[in-house]
A and B are shown apart, each in its own frame.
Chain A
Amino acid sequence: MGADRQLCTFVVGGLHLGVGVEHVAEVLRPQQTTAVPLAHEEVAGLINLRGEIVTALDLRRRLGLEAAGEEPQMNVVLTMGEEAVSLLVDEIGEVVTVSEDDFEPPPETVAGPTRELILGAFKLDERLLLLLDTERALAPSSA
């Protein structure tokens, strides 16, 4: 019998993703970002989170998806050790409670960078919810 988990969900490039609520510091509306030239392309910029400077990562790029359009993106701020990092996502979903029983490793159909960044999928009634590997997703690229 697996335990229940609460996931904060969001949509990026049509993918439904979730992270454990314990990792999420807060969810923000689109913020003014300051671009960082010469940084890795996945770095969307810096935002001012109440006096803290937080790096915003473009999750689309991170997942190897095409860049977002003009649509401003939402921030999901996660804590990574001492530091907070924001993931830019298309849409914020609700917090859902899932059961470990519904969990499965990544389906074969998921390929590329996405496969590396997700731990697996929860089979919900209406769709699949992919569990994001926060550690990997937030790790700085070696490039």
Chain B
Amino acid sequence: MIRIEPRDVNSAMFSYGVPILSAVVALILASIPLWLAGAPVLISYVEMAKGVFGSKFAFSEMLTRATPLMFTGLAAALAFRAKLWNIGAEGQLYLGAIAAVAIGTGYIEAPAFILLPLIIAFGCAAGSAGMVVPAILKTRYGADEVVTTLLLNFIIIIFLQYMLEGPLKDPMGLGWPQSSPILDQGMLPPLMERMRVHSGLIIAIVCALIAQFMLARSVWGFKLRAVGENVFAARHAGIKVNRTILGAAAISGALAGMAGVSEVAGLKGYLTSDLSPGFGYAGIIVAMLAGLSPIGVVISALFIASVFVGADSMSRAMGVSSYLADLVVSTSLLCVLIGGFFSRFKLVRTNLEGKN
């Protein structure tokens, strides 16, 4: 017989080792679909690495892709810490982007130092509202936020299509469903010349640092963790549970909204309905790989972005479907879940009576 027992100490080796090991295992497992697709496995991996580290441009593309993942990863990590299952980052991202475009395409004419903060504030507020609504439905009516946030994603994307065909449609867009471009002074400044990587990356890293500090050191962070670990104990200790959940929802939604602002005002300049190839959902994986630690989110976003960018360039070179990237990323989530189990529990061999 084998019995499951909790480990006495949660060692640092496990909390850092498990995510790294999971990422490596997922990358190794990718050789199976590569082999099945008939691609030379080793060369494919080399192509993948070249796609990320092969040139300065490739590396900057990876950083560009990591930026929205950091925001959505932080959105998921903070909410999950409070056991608030925000699966709606995809929709909240689009709410942020819609708000950014609504403010930034000429509705308000102002210099950069006024317009840019306004765009960010409105984008975050819109994303925030997108999470506060399901959080209220949860705290007041007991409606499961997993289902409501998932369904809201679909509703918001339909709303986006309406906005792009109607009120936000670019009159100069030759009939395409896209918004007008954001004014130049409303754009996030680029970081490097002739590269697409922009200052959204800096904002994301600063957000991660602040979140890390607030979570570990502030009363707010303490309450949030307490609610996440044991609602009953938290309530008993006099913490206003519903208010804490709503606060976490507001911050989480704002971060997801910021992902949309950063994509539209940092990268694309205008809004289309394919702004995000699932950044919201990938953010959940980023957060889980990071063990829900904000600083960890920065690192795991870099990893996930590398997989996406590397697999994209590999798929062009080798003719393997780029869905391989999604396969690697989702496998790494399953691996980190299994790894998380072994870092918290150990298997003990027992005799038939179940004694040690």
Q: Do A and B bind each other?
A: no
